[in-house]
Amino acid sequence: MFERLEQFPDDAILGLMAAYQADRDPRKVDLGVGVYRDERGQTPVLQAVRQAERALLERQTTKSYVGLIGNPGFNHALEQLVFGAGHPVLASGRLRTVQTPGGCGALRLGAELLRFAAAEASVYVSTPTWANHVPLLSGAGIPLERYPYYDPATKGVRFSALLEAFEQLPPRSIVLLHGCCHNPTGADLSQSQWRELLGVVSRRALLPYIDLAYLGLGAGVEPDAFGVRLFAEQLPEVLVAVSCSKNFGLYRERTGALHVIGESPAVAQAALSQLLRIARTTYSMPPDHGAAIVHEVLSNDGLRSAWLTELDGMRGRITGLRRQLVASFARSCPGRDFSFIEAQRGMFSYLDITREQVRALRERHHLYMTEDSRINIAGLRSENLDYFADCVARVL
């Protein structure tokens, strides 16, 4: 039966990874794949994670299933981290959490729930958005539409256009929002913009679906969670997909969660029951190891403090690289303003160069980035910043 299948095109980012690995030039730089790297170019195991893992392995007595809902301790700890201790939603009984296989698993699980709950609704994603948002959501059978977000002229958010677009959306539309560290642009909403957006979302009866993949890597855990916490407090229904890949460095452990907030405890419980039904018919039980590590870190005061220190260090490195890169561009490209890079947050920025220039950087200078010129700032190192800036200047 398989003879009818056609070859599916390679994933663009995974193809870029393969090309980078095959390149033997010592000057090569990988700015395409979205993983954090340290000054040595490594994606390290955090010390807090290593200590938690060691403690877990010493006392673990079984590898049996954890259940459809996942690790209850992990779910509770993540609720406290994302929403903050004392948040009204925690005491209201309107919040339910399901552990998922990574942030991608959370996004898809939520999409399947939305298709079941509101088959007529469309999901609106930002222009641009993370490339995998489209297949993850549309693969569940939900119609996808776009709303304006990034302004190439200002390198910031087209906030007036965004508000105008949201005002025109039909009630019960779903809007996918980036909680912080917008991927691929690095252009985030300010706290005042989140507040203004809340009014439109509430007035138009829209359902916010917030992707929180980089908590702590923008401005810190508290400010990065501002939008999620504001919407959770003020709106009757919210979905939040959370990933622990970046901030805990647990990429291959596939550790994530989906938070669902209902108008009442009964509504939230019904949503949870449907999520567990969907999970049972897809992946069934989530993996345990990464979630157990996160639970250990967040429930141990010493490990939690160590993790926050390491997270501060990762964020500080990214912020420092942004500042250094702007300085390097000022020397290499004095006629072009790259100061926007320092104002953006998280791991990504757009260079706003053409696809031909991106290909030239790859083919002539061994610099790998996605075709839309998104770069992973954390892929740079102090030793290659000037090389990177000089090469960009050559192709401009």
Give the active site residues: 130, 211, 213, 246
Q: What is the distance between the alpha carbons of residues 88 and 8, in angstroms, rounded to a whole number?
A: 47
Side-chain-facing half-sphere of 139: CA atoms under 13 Å: 11
57 touches 274 (CB < 8 A):
no
92 touches 113 (CB < 8 A):
no
294 touches 330 (CB < 8 A):
no
Ramachandran angles phi, psi of 55, nearest 5°:
-65, -40
Which token pair is 391? Answer: 């090469």
- In one letter, which amino acid is 264? S
Ramachandran angles phi, psi of 182, nearest 5°:
-50, 130
Ramachandran angles phi, psi of 116, nearest 5°:
-75, -40
114 CB-contact burial (10 Å; exposed 0-12 / middle 13-18 / buried 19+): buried
Radius of gyration for the alpha carbons in the chain, expressed in angstroms and rounded: 21
Q: What is the distance between the alpha carbons of residues 292 and 288, in angstroms, rounded to a whole number?
A: 6
Q: Cα 347–348–351 angle (5° rounding)? A: 145
Phi-psi region of 352 (alpha: psi -120 to 50; beta: other; left: phi over 0): left
Which residues share a beta bridge with 211?
178, 241
Q: 305 in helix, strand or coil?
A: helix
